[in-house]
Amino acid sequence: MNAKKMDHLATGIIYFLVGVVILLLVAILSYILFNGVPDISWKFLTSAAQSFSAGGGIRDQLFNSLYLLLLTIIVSLPIGLGAGIYLAEYSTDNWFTDLIRTSVEVLSSLPSVVVGLFGYLVFVIKLNLGFSILSGAIALTFFNLPLLTRNIEESLRSVPNLQREAGMSLGLSHWKTTTKIVLPAALPGILTGLILSAGRIFGEAAALIYTAGQSAPTVDYTNWNIFSATSFLNPMRPAETLAVHIWKVNTESVTPDAKLISSASSAVLIIVILIFNLGARYLGNKLYKKITATK
């Protein structure tokens, strides 16, 4: 076969492969959305789940997912910032930096179920935190940390060196230069990365089954005392998240309308993640424009 024919054939095959992938994507998204969206109603979003009868909602699961996400960010963001700043601003090429990088890589490659089991063993049992939002948040920190650390390091590195020199030449300390000049300039990138990683945490289930638990006890949304066992803010209560709920109703539950609940919940999950994705892009761009004073 001559080169020209080969070129046409290869081009054809590649177009075919791309076509199949696009079709697949469209099929998956439309399956979830078409099956799920019609079942999403205000009542579905705001009523409690039912174990044995049909008509249950996802109020508690949705709240748990968001609350867990918030706690995870509170736990992991400071550590990620510190580590990212170290790697971008202070580290030199030596064995210690290698050790840190390897640690971050190892963390990011851990299978989520292994992290979940570790959380179960150490936080739930050994530290006696029980199935709780706190245990879940710590387990999720394992996923979030490597993502955040890398993202923060890259965002900081992308700030031109001239900015650092400007700060240093005015007699500012390295730390002040980093936190007050470089960090604000890197904020758009950091924010985008943070929201994208939030999307991943929001959908995570394997690490939560044995840490945050699989039950959503009835909580009182008017009780603002975080130490009270019935308060919705109590971080020591077990909390089934939306993603765990989908898994649970499909594998272990006897709810008669399991299919309806899972498709509607899946749609909610996808929509939230979609909002995160678009929001990250929008906010990042907006902030970038504001900082660089471009219109």
Partner 1 sequence: MDNIQKKLQTKSKATFQDYFGKGICYLCIGMIILLVTCILYFIASKGIATFTKDKVNVFDFLTKTNWNPGATDSHGRPDVGALPMIVTSFSVTLLAAVLATPFALGVAIFMSEFSSKGGSKILQPVIELLVGIPSVVYGFIGLSVVVPFIRGIFGGTGFGILSGTLVLFVMILPTITSLSVDSLRAVPMYYREASLALGATRWQTIYKVILRAAIPGLLTAIIFGMARAFGEALAVQMVIGNAALMPTSLVSPASTLTSKLTTDIGNTVMGTLPNNALWSLALILLLMSLFLNLLVKFIGKRGRF
Partner 2 sequence: MKQYNLNDSYITEIPGKRALSTKDLQVYYGDNHAIFDANLIFPRFQITSLIGASGSGKSTFLRCLNRMNDKIAKVDGQILYRNVDINSDKINVYEVRQHIGMVFQRPNPFAKSIKENITFALKNAGITKKDALEERLESSLKSAALWDEVKDNLSKSALALSGGQQQRLCIARSIAMRPDILLLDEPASALDPISTSKIEDTLNDLKKDYTIIIVTHNLQQASRISDYTAFFHLGHVIEYNTTAHVFTNPKMQATEDYVSGNFG
* Token couple for 86: 């170290």
Residue 80 site contact among partner 1, partner 2, none (CB < 5 to 8 Å, cut-off depends on kind): partner 1
User: Of residues 70, 166, 226, 274, which one binds partner 2 by CB under 8 A?
Assistant: 166
Compose the 32-61 pattern: x for residues touching partner 1 by CB under 8 A, - for all others: x-----------------------------
**Shortest Å, Cβ 158 to partner 2:** 13
Looking at the Cβ atoms of 172 and 236, the one nearer to partner 1 is 172
Quick one: tokens of 255?
A: 């709810």
* Residues 148 and 193: beta-carbon distance below 8 Å: yes
Quick one: which segment of 7-15, 132-140, 165-173, 276-284 binds partner 2 (CB under 8 A)? 165-173
State the minimum distance, in angstroms, from the CB of residue 161 to partner 2: 9
The answer to the question of residue 55 lying near partner 2 (CB under 8 A) is: no
- Give the whole-angstrom CA distance, residue 164 versus residue 186: 12
List, in sequence order, every residue forming a beta bridge with 231; answer none if it has no partner. Answer: 220
- Helices 242-251 and 59-85: crossing angle, nearest 10°? 130
Number of residues interacting with partner 1: please give it, by CB under 8 A: 87
What are the residues whose beta carbons fall under 8 Å from the beta carbon of 226, sequence distance 6 or more?
Answer: 233, 234, 235
- By a kind-dependent CB cut-off of 5 to 8 A, residue 43 interacts, out of partner 2, partner 1, none, with none
The answer to whether 201 and 140 have CB atoms below 8 angstroms apart is: yes
Query: For partner 1, which stretch binds (CB under 8 A), given 20-28, 41-49, 50-58, 282-290?
Result: 20-28
Calpha distance 157→213 (Å, rounded)? 39
Q: Is 14 in the site for partner 1 (CB under 8 A)?
A: yes
Binds 21: which of partner 1, partner 2, none (CB < 5-8 Å by kind): partner 1
Q: Which of 150, 123, 133 is nearest to 72 (CA)?
A: 133
Considering only the C-alpha atoms of the chain, give the largest distance between any 2 of them, rounded to a whole number of Å. 77
Site track 136-165 with partner 1 (rule: CB under 8 A), x = hit: -----xx--x---x----------------
Neighbouring CB atoms inside 10 A of 99's CB total 10
Show contacts with partner 2 in window 171-200 (CB under 8 A): 171-173, 176, 180-181, 184-185
Closest to partner 1 by CB, 11 or 158: 11
Q: How many residues does the chain have?
A: 295
| Binding flag, residue 251, partner 2 (CB under 8 A) | no
Site for partner 1 in 263-292 (CB under 8 A): 263, 266, 269-270, 273-274, 276-277
What string marks each residue from 98 to 137 as x (binds partner 1 by CB under 8 A) or -?
Answer: -xx--xxxxx-xxxxxxx-xx-xxx--x------------
Torsion angles phi and psi, residue 213, rounded to 5: 90, 175
Q: Can you tell me which of 37, 66, 81, 283 binds partner 1, judged by CB under 8 A?
A: 81
Residue 168 in the binding site for partner 2 (CB under 8 A)? yes
Cα gap 141→115, rounded to integer Å? 10
3-state secondary structure of 220: strand
User: What is the distance of C-alpha 199 from the center of its chain?
Assistant: 4
